[in-house]
């Protein structure tokens, strides 16, 4: 990393929620409970999808990996937030900040493509049911999963290097809850237009394109569902898709709003709230959405609880 005073600058200061000092303890308790719920809930999804033979299908294969991705994504930001709230030490080294940005961008891009792969799986299941197991075989599922994880790595590394190569000759205070692109650009001096153009390109490649693929899949899914003769069949088809669609709207909605705004339009308060949506709320809601709206999951959970109660009675 080079340029300007970058070599003299060792760390940033994450302001986080420092503007509401009286609520630091309360916020720490709330976020700690949320983090534990995210880890426990998504871990249970992974265990259930692996343990129950009835759930050994491509849909649950992707769901288990999506839950693991959610835990990784949340673990990039929440532990640091908790540490800052507990210790009131808000400094973060340049390397740690760059690593956090790189992981957020990389895992966020992976989540976008994995959600698109999950939408494609539902499209094949509903629109081409007779060919489902042939098209969505194990090899294809693994390829889609690996592709989701690695497709954006070169671009994300280049984007992170380009941002942290900017000179920082002003304030090092980041008015945000974690290291993110726009708070960093706001404290950089010099021309940041090239960085902003690259951000828009990344949003199109890793956000808009997967979102359009998801929308295209669901348009075909809805058309296919409406053609089903049975009301029960329609209800079952909609129930298998609605959970995934809720997660898509929650994640893409907040993420695209944040990253498509021009730098001048960003408000620290609104950015913090929107960031909480796609880094914390989506991983928190994921277990509840899939477990409460999925009949197969409910049945499996009941089986697990029944077995646990029988073991306990012995």
What local confidence, expressed as pLDDT, does residue 99 receive? 92
| pLDDT score of 139 | 93
Residues contacting 64, CB < 8 A, separation 6+:
45, 46, 49, 50
pLDDT of residue 310: 66
pLDDT at residue number 9: 62
How much is the pTM? 0.85
Regions of the chain with pLDDT less than 70:
1-9, 170-171, 232-233, 236-237, 239-240, 261-269, 290-296, 304-305, 308-314
Q: Strand 173-174 to strand 11-14: parallel, antiparallel, or no bridges (unpaired)?
A: parallel
- Domain positions in the chain are 11-313
Query: What confidence tens digit (pLDDT) does each residue in 18-44 have?
Result: 777 788 889 899 999 999 999 998 898
Query: What local confidence, expressed as pLDDT, does residue 72 receive?
Result: 92
pLDDT for position 4: 42
Q: Which fold has domain 11-313?
A: Rhopdopsin 7-helix transmembrane proteins (1.20.1070)
Q: Torsions phi, psi of 188, nearest 5?
A: -85, 145
Q: What is the pLDDT of residue 1?
A: 41
Tokens standing for 185? Answer: 């650009």
**What pLDDT is stored for residue 262 in this prediction?**
63
Q: 3-state SS of 165-232?
A: CCCCCCCCEECCCCCCHHHHHHHCCCCCHHHHHHHHHHHHHHHHHHHHHHHHHHHHHHHHHHCCCCHH
Please report the pLDDT score of residue 291 as a whole number: 66
Alpha-carbon distance of 67 to 69, in angstroms, equals 5
Q: Which of 196, 177, 201 is nearest to 265 (CA)?
A: 196
């Amino acid at each position: 990393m080079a340029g300007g005073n970058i070599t003299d600058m060792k760390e940033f200061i994450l302001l986080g929620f420092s503007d509401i000092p009286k609520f630091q303890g309360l916020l720490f308790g709330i976020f700690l409970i949320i983090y534990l719920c995210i880890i426990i809930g998504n871990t249970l999804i992974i265990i259930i999808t692996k343990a129950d033979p009835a759930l050994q299908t491509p849909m649950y294969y992707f769901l288990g990996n999506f839950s693991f991705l959610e835990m990784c994504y949340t673990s990039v930001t929440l532990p640091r937030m908790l540490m800052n709230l507990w210790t009131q030490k808000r400094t973060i080294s340049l390397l740690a900040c760059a690593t956090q940005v790189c992981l957020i961008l990389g895992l966020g891009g992976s989540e976008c493509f994995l959600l698109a792969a999950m939408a494609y799986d539902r499209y094949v299941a509903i629109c081409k049911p007779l060919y489902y197991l042939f098209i969505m075989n194990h090899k294809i599922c693994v390829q889609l999963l690996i592709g989701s994880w690695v497709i954006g790595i070169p671009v994300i590394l280049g984007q992170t290097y380009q941002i942290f190569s900017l000179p920082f000759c002003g304030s090092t205070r980041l008015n945000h809850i974690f290291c993110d692109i726009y708070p960093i650009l706001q404290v950089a001096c010099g021309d940041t237009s090239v960085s902003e153009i690259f951000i828009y390109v990344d949003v199109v490649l890793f956000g808009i394109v997967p979102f359009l693929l998801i929308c295209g899949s669901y348009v075909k899914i809805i058309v296919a569902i409406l053609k089903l003769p049975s009301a029960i069949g329609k209800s079952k088809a909609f129930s298998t898709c609605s959970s995934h669609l809720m997660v898509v709207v929650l994640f893409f909605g907040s993420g695209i709003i944040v990253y498509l705004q021009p730098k001048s339009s960003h408000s620290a308060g609104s950015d913090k709230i929107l960031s909480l949506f796609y880094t914390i709320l989506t991983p928190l809601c994921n277990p509840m959405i899939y477990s409460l709206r999925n009949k197969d999951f409910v049945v499996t959970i009941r089986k697990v609880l029944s077995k646990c109660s029988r073991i306990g009675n012995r």
